[in-house]
Amino acid sequence: MTSMHAIRYDQFKLLKELSTRYIACQFETFNSNLTYPIPPEHQLFLLDAACNESEKLLETGKQLNKFDHPYRWLIWGQTDRDQFKQFYFRLDGQIFIIDKTEKGIKGTYRIQSIYKTSNESMEFMENDIGTAAFFTIDRIDIIEYIAPSAPTHIRFLFRAPPLSYVSNVFTLPFDSYVWYGCFGLIPLVFLAVYIIVKWEWYDPVFKETVAETHSNTIMPLRPGFFDVLVMELGAITQQGTDTEPKSVSGRIATVFTFIAFMFLYTAYAANIVAILQSTTESIKTLEDLLHSRISLGVEDIVYAHYYFQIEGILNSRPLTHISANPSPISPAYFLNGWSMESVPEVDLTDINSGKLHQNLQESSRFTAEEPVRKAIYQQKVAPKGQKANFMDIYEGISKVQKGFFAFHVELSSGYKVIADTFQENEKCGLKTIEFMNMLEPWVSIRKRSAYKEVIKVGLRKILEVGVQRRDVNRFYSNKPVCQNKGSNFGSAGLIDCYAAFLIYGIGIVFSIFLMVMEIVVQKRLQKRESSAQSDVYVSPVESYAE
């Protein structure tokens, strides 16, 4: 910092005050050449315009271009503005002329803060360029997006559940036409075997042959409905049978029945093993995620709170510049702290009709105005009366690793943690679902900024020569590659065997029901026989004759 005024006692007082604040200071007279070994951006000239020869000092500064950026001047002691008309202060210069008006300050100011940071510097034209920012409808009237920064994508990340989670795996090895063929083959085989066995037992010639084979190890198949059905079930399940037809035609039918069902059984068993290790592809949309039994969590970062809490509630109705709801909930209420009293005029002068603007308008339709997105936040992310599921990235990815959990995270960060913590087989089956259809962040600049073209051209050059791609490849992680897909081993759980246990339970219940029915019918028959015997009358004459 450099101070210029007449040499007097109070300069030492100023030097002491600045030294206590560790500020470098150098005192010079008006006839100096104003050249110092201090970077220009750190030089501040303090000038008392009431001092003698102050105009000469300003003239020297004009000749040396000290009024240009980044030099700064603080001038006081002169209330007559005519003294400065002969000097050209550039638009980008930082020349501050101050006057002492009163002893106190009569004014108010407000520092607006969002997420613990000061904002609206672009809106008040204090800054020209900002960092990469996401597209929101509230920023369109204030800033412009000039170039993409990095492929930042935020989505729900989860491991696809096993196929048995959503489907009955025991019906999947065959398609519908094969099942139709199997169910058609069963009655045909049953009918053919039943007719042959019926002929064996009722043909007078072959009846003697059947009687002679009773002493053999394998009993002849009887022409009963359940006898033939049990034989066929033994062929389907490859368990064999203890009875068989004795005729040549019957044995041929039995052999071909076992061979046909053997091929079907082999194909079924091979497919069911692969299907038990497969994952489902049915969870593809937010609606599928909402109605599934997968729990949800969100990374505890600033913009996640904004999109889930503010966008998820505010934009559950159609997004406009002011809410149609009479309550004070409006975009201005969330962003500035006060409600909007009138609809602002939309200035579309500087909005291009190019692809970027079209994509922005398209993406604005996919903010959290849909009932599905609102339901996801209210039912799974922040249920009423419970703590919201906002957590750090390591806790969220750990739950994803355990399964049946979807974590809303920036994909590059999530993939980095997954690559460091997951086993190789756990990297297979990773799926993503987009919650907010937002474009990737672009570098922002103030509307109608004089530096727009300069910065835009520079950023485009960075993109064209590959500098940005190089940094993206260095700092951004890609999706982990599944190296051993299909070679991992996992034990079958209860969900995988649910259909088998269900059939087993139905069989037990049905057998108990039949047993009870048989007991009831048997008792009724016995009761009927006993009552019939008691009704028989024997006369005394017949008894005496006997």
What string of H, E and C letters represents the secondary structure of 425-445?
HHHCCEEEECCCCCCCCEEEE
AA letter at 370: E
What's the CATH code of the domain at 222? 1.10.287
Tell me which of 24 and 54 has the higher pLDDT: 54
Which residue, among 313, 200, 309, 182, has the nearest Cα to 249 in the 3D structure? Answer: 200
One domain, residues 326 and 437: yes
Three-state secondary-structure class, residue 26: strand
Residue 477 belongs to a domain = no
One domain, residues 353 and 217: no
Does pLDDT of 355 surpass 70?
no
Residue 480 belongs to a domain = no
One domain, residues 245 and 297: no
CB 61 within 8 A of CB 90: no
Residue 27 belongs to a domain = yes
Residue 326 belongs to a domain = yes
Residue 120 belongs to a domain = no
Tell me which of 478 and 491 has the higher pLDDT: 478
One domain, residues 317 and 440: yes
What's the CATH code of the domain at 395? 3.40.190.10
Strands of 352-457 (E only): list them: 390-391, 405-410, 430-433, 442-446
With cut-offs at 50, 70 and 90, classify the pLDDT of residue 107.
Answer: low
CB 200 within 8 A of CB 247: yes
Task: Count Cα neighbours of 356 within 13 Å in the Cβ-side half-sphere.
Answer: 14
One domain, residues 328 and 347: yes
Does pLDDT of 232 surpass 80?
yes
One domain, residues 272 and 295: no
Instruction: Rank 106-120, 337-351, 419-433 by mean pLDDT and report only the highest.
Output: 419-433
The tokens describing 302, both together, are 């600033």
Sign of the C-alpha dihedral computed for residues 463, 465, 471 and 474 taken in this order: positive
Average pLDDT, the chain: 74
Residue 31 belongs to a domain = yes
Beta-carbon count within 10 A of 57 CB = 22
Residue 496, classified by CB atoms within 10 Å of its CB into exposed (0-12), middle (13-18) or buried (19+), is: buried
Does pLDDT of 156 surpass 80?
yes
**Beta carbons within 8 Å of 255's beta carbon, 6+ residues apart:** none
pLDDT tens column, 6-21 = 445 666 777 777 777 6
CB 308 within 8 A of CB 298: yes
* Residue where one domain finishes, among candidates 62, 77, 98: 98
* Residue where one domain finishes, among candidates 452, 487, 518: 452
One domain, residues 226 and 305: no
One domain, residues 183 and 270: yes
With cut-offs at 50, 70 and 90, classify the pLDDT of residue 407.
Answer: very high
C-alpha to C-alpha distance for 8 and 283, rounded to whole angstroms? 80
The tokens describing 420, both together, are 């460091």
Strand order in the sheet with 405-410: 390-391, 295-299, 405-410, 154-159, 430-433
One domain, residues 258 and 395: no
Q: Average pLDDT of 529-535? A: 74
Domain count of the fold of the chain = 4
* Residue where one domain finishes, among candidates 98, 117, 137: 98
One domain, residues 259 and 209: yes
**Beta carbons within 8 Å of 544's beta carbon, 6+ residues apart:** none
pLDDT of residue 34: 55
pTM for the model = 0.54
What is the separation of C-alpha 179 from the centre of its chain, rounded to a whole number of angstroms? Answer: 37
Residue 325 belongs to a domain = yes
Beta-carbon count within 10 A of 92 CB = 10
pLDDT tens column, 287-343 = 888 888 889 999 988 778 777 766 544 443 333 333 344 344 434 333 333 444 444
pLDDT tens column, 358-406 = 554 544 444 444 688 888 888 888 888 888 889 999 999 999 988 889 9
Q: What is the DSSP string of 178-220?
A: HHHHHHHHHHHHHHHHHHHHHHHHH-TTHHHHHHHGGGSSSEE
One domain, residues 251 and 305: no
Residue 108 belongs to a domain = no
One domain, residues 308 and 258: no
Q: Average pLDDT of 100-108? A: 58
Instruction: Rank 53-57, 237-241, 294-298 by mean pLDDT and report only the highest.
Output: 294-298
Tell me which residue range forms the domain holding 11.
2-98
Residue 287, classified by CB atoms within 10 Å of its CB into exposed (0-12), middle (13-18) or buried (19+), is: middle
